């Protein structure tokens, strides 16, 4: 059984924006008997591995969260959401089925599973151990001094494909984890801003992109990249735009 706790990460010490508070309120509405726990510098060892230590020192807090979510769920289990995920429908049936992840894109050419959409698992699952081991050997900086462009979506998708996930828009079981098509947790087309709600939709990822400094030019660039190269192009440009 999935422990009745929702985890989220918030590193850097800044107050939560109103948009994040609204999303957390939606968790309380649809998970009334769940505890909600924030992970930050006070209760998570940011120097636990070289990757997170370097990311924190560079003030790239989203990359610290990338590792922290897997560590927390491996050790404690429960549910994890990014703070820009708003729940809009009960997930009781999904959680009764067990651990889950969701596709950001479920088309074969650009297939991608995004842990930020929402994930859940029981403690000590072997896939999460594998993901932690991948991060243990991952450098935050490349030999040329540039930030490593290998982002969490690519890492997670590669791990699931290794364990048998197919590039198909259907419900799949991988190592006891149910992977859902994009309409369940990612109905927002970030390139156009259009919502494509279906009867399956349980939550909306609002793409706050907290790792991108506020800039109208960069916002336009993001939308153009999404439109022409797909949403998971972030895996390649994430580190560049954070400079």
Asked whether 36 and 8 are in contact (CB, 8 A), the reply is yes
User: Which pLDDT belongs to residue 223?
Assistant: 53
Distance CA 236, CA 104 (A): 15
What is the chain's length? 243
- Strand, coil or helix: 202: coil
User: Which pLDDT belongs to residue 207?
Assistant: 87
User: Which pLDDT belongs to residue 240?
Assistant: 44
Residue from 48, 46, 30, 38 nearest 8 by CA:
38
Burial degree of 106 (CB within 10 A; 0-12, 13-18, 19+):
buried
**Four-residue CA torsion sign, 115, 121, 125, 129:** positive
Low-confidence ranges of the chain (pLDDT < 70): 209-243
Question: Chain-centre distance of CA 127, in angstroms?
Answer: 15
Q: Look up the CATH number of the domain holding residue 188.
A: 3.90.550
Range of the domain at 201: 5-241
pLDDT in tens, 15-54: 999 999 999 999 999 999 999 999 999 999 999 999 999 9
pLDDT in tens, 74-105: 999 999 999 999 999 999 999 999 999 999 99
User: Which pLDDT belongs to residue 221?
Assistant: 61
DSSP state, residue 35 = E
Structural domain total, the chain? 1
């Amino acid at each position: 059984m999935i422990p009745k706790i929702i985890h989220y990460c918030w590193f850097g010490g800044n107050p939560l924006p109103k948009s994040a508070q609204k999303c957390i309120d939606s968790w309380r509405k649809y998970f009334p008997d769940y505890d909600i726990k924030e992970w930050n510098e006070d209760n998570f060892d940011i120097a636990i591995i070289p990757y997170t230590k370097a990311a924190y020192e560079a003030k790239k807090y989203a990359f610290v969260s990338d590792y922290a979510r897997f560590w927390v769920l491996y050790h404690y289990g429960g549910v994890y959401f990014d703070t820009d995920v708003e729940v809009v429908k009960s997930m009781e049936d999904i959680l009764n089925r067990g651990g889950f992840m969701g596709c950001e894109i479920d088309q074969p050419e650009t297939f991608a599973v995004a842990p930020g959409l929402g994930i859940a698992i029981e403690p000590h699952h072997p896939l999460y151990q594998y993901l932690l081991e991948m991060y243990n050997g991952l450098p935050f900086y490349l030999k040329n001094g540039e930030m490593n462009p290998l982002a969490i979506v690519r890492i997670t998708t590669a791990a699931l494909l290794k364990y048998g996930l197919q590039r198909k828009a259907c419900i799949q079981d991988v190592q006891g984890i149910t992977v859902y098509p994009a309409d369940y947790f990612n109905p927002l087309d970030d390139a156009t801003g259009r919502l494509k709600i279906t009867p399956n939709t349980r939550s909306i990822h609002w793409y706050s992109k907290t790792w991108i400094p506020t800039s109208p030019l960069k916002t336009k660039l993001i939308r153009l990249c999404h439109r022409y190269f797909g949403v998971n192009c972030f895996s390649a440009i994430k580190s560049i735009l954070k400079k």
